[in-house]
Amino acid sequence: MQLAFAVLGGLVLLFIVAPLAGLFFFGGEPANVVAAAGNAELRDSIWLTLWTSMLATALLALAAVPFAYLLARKDFWGKRLVMGLVDLPTVIPHSAAGIAVLTVIARSSPLGQAAAGIGLDFVGHPAGIMVAMSFVSIPFLINAARDGFAAVPERLEKAALTLGASPLRVFLTIAVPLAWRAILSGFVLMWARGMSEFGAVVIVAYHPMTTPVLIWEWFGAYGLSYARPAAALFVLVCLVLFILLRLLARERDDA
């Protein structure tokens, strides 16, 4: 049985790896990728994608991590409903998510008008991109952090309280450090999910172009062979960043 399962597992792995391998095999000749990297439009889009997704994750984390802690520690009326709501963005089509987000932040909406009041226009602005990215990716951070907090023995927090620490101090010095790995993993997932988001972003902000939108545009305008090196480069950048982050997390763990 083990052998059969291993074969099945191998097939699944192949299913994941093959298209990526193909991407590099057909479009990833170093010359092509270097040429793509020389393209200012692509470089700008990659930079835009990286910082918007990173900033969106960091900003949302400020609220999402405490919220996840609450979900892990407290039982309250309607908690299941709240947890269902948190998961909602993962189950609706992302184009629909984009429409939903746009409805709320469009110039005609109250929020859009309020933002316009301080000179901010979400639509076609990095802020809009960040909202769209966050909407579809926030469940990953909340769920990962919640599981991480749930795995921290409550006894340790109680012990800290009996030592005179305030709940905030307990959260910062006991819960967060002990759930750190899960939170970081959620952070990386949210960031990655935001970075790779196409559907919601393209509806909220076609311009400025994030890399997924740019790849789509190039594919539509110039075809597969033109879009492929750009896709390969973007995947490469993502991979390098994630591997670096994982290594960083491990080092911190061993320290």
Partner 1 sequence: MLEVRNLSARWDGFAIDDISFSVAAGDYFVLLGPSGGGKTLVLEILAGLHPATGGTVLLDGREITGSRIQDRDLALVYQDRALFPHLTVHKNIAYGLAAQGVTRSKRLDRAAELAGQVGVAELLHRRPGTLSGGEAQRVALARALAREPKLLLLDEPLSALDIRAREKLRALLRQLHRAGNTIIHVTHDFEEAVSLASHVAIMAEGRIIQMGTRDEVFVEPRSRFVARFTGVDNFIEGEVTEAHDSSATFVADKATFQLAGAGFVGRGYLLFRRRDLEVHRQAPSPSPANLFTGRVVDLAPTRSGLEVRLDAQGLTLVAHVPRRQVAALELELGMEVYAVLREGAGRVVKA
**Would you tell me which residues interact with partner 1 (CB under 8 A)?**
153, 155-156, 158-167, 169, 173-174, 177-178
Complex with partner 1: residue 30 or 164, whichever CB lies closer: 164
In the complex with partner 1, the residue whose CB is nearer, 87 or 253, is: 253
> How long is the chain?
255
Q: Which is nearer to partner 1, 41 or 253 (CB)?
A: 253
8 A C-beta contact, residue 97 and residue 89: yes
Contact 130, 124 (CB under 8 A): no
Indicate the DSSP class of residue 120.
-
User: Token pair for residue 176?
Assistant: 């967060």
Nearer to partner 1, 81 or 163 (CB): 163
Answer whether 71's CB lies under 8 Å from 83's CB.
yes
The nearer residue to partner 1, 157 or 197, going by C-beta atoms, is 157
Give the nearest distance from C-beta 172 to partner 1 in angstroms: 11
- Minimum distance between the CB of residue 71 and partner 1, rounded to whole angstroms? 21
Q: How far is the CB of 254 from partner 1 (least distance, A)?
A: 12
Q: What is the 8-class DSSP label of residue 109?
A: S
Q: How far is the CB of 61 from partner 1 (least distance, A)?
A: 20
Please report how close the Cβ of residue 68 comes to partner 1 at its closest, in angstroms: 19
Cα separation, 231 vs 196, in Å, equals 11
Angstrom distance (rounded) from CA 53 to CA 73: 28
